[in-house]
Structure 1
Amino acid sequence: MKCVSSLGRPSPVITWFTDNGTPSVPSDDVNLTVYASISMSSDVTTRVLMITPYKRDNNQTVYCNVTNGYSSVSSGHKIRLHVLTYPSRPVIYYYGKPVSGIYIIKGKAMSFVCSSIGEPSPTITWKTSSNELISNSVLSSPNDQMTHNGSYSCSAWSILSPSNGQEITVTNTSYITVNVLYPPEVIICKIGQVATYPGIVKVIKNEPF
């Protein structure tokens, strides 16, 4: 961020500040000038502020003040920082508990919730074990569809568009493994290669079968 003074003699001095959350009380604002470089030319002063923003700096107001001993002028436009952040690693919840793998009985309905935070709020997309994509933070499966083991992924992605720089798309992904438990469905008995069914089985006395 650059602050340029008007012509003044002696050469103006520029000071950068961040508002401490009390706009009507400038005396408690934080001086950021240590992070600014300075250049002077023909009684005009330029001071460029270079800072690394953190999440806690979101919505902070930054401004510059110019003085040369005769008068003091604050910048008419104060800059409010909108700090963009990457989506956090998604957390997958099953009945309110974070999980990375579960066992479920065949035929039972399941519902997972995927949560991630970031600025702007991330978009959530699920990918099922059959590669189906679902754009929703909740993944639900009806009773008759939960029949096979599989791995499911939850991706949180955001488009970050800074005021000065290229737009980037960032993604963070978590996975959950689902193991389906089920009893044998059909019991088949055979005599030799012949399947038997409920009823009478005919055998010869003293002959193995």
Structure 2
Amino acid sequence: MTTLPDRPNTALLVIDVQNGVVAGALHRDSVIANINTLVDKARAEDVPVIWVQHSDEGLERGSERWQYVPELVRLDAEPLVHKHYGDSFEDTVLEEALAERGVGRLVVTGAQTDACIRSTLHGAFVRGYDVTLVGDAHTTEDLTEYGAPTPQQVITHANLYWKWQSAPGRRGGTVDTADVTFISDDAG
């Protein structure tokens, strides 16, 4: 249903699953395992896998904290988008990578739920993409000392909130890893 013309394809987006981002994240290992399952499925179905990698003062480019976790391996042919802002589209080549591949629907995974995941969901949606959040393939760290809800509450709320997103000509949705399909006309 995307509002982007001539964009029938779906891509899997893997956002910021970097050592320094997920070191203290809730359900780190199971989330990474779910992302690996989705990467394998996407590759088997010839669906583009797009990797996003954040850098800033706390994640210096080239540092160990900046590196993707060793459990996830990007193939050389798969695009790597470098970013400095929460929204993976802001000041990056993500839009160009998706346009080249005719992508109008994104399946989103990664970290952190309450920052880069949420920003990218909204960034994609307002740019005309259909956007599916994989409910058991995103995570966040504990920021309760700053007044945030618990990580589980953040994840649960994001899943509930995104499940019902819609706008003229596009839709959101939340599904678990086991229910993900890469078919454009399916919400899963």
TM-score (norm 2): 0.22
Q: Which has the larger radius of gyration?
A: 1
More strand by share: 1
More helix by share: 2
Structure number with the bigger relative contact order (C-alpha 8 A, sep ≥ 6) is 2
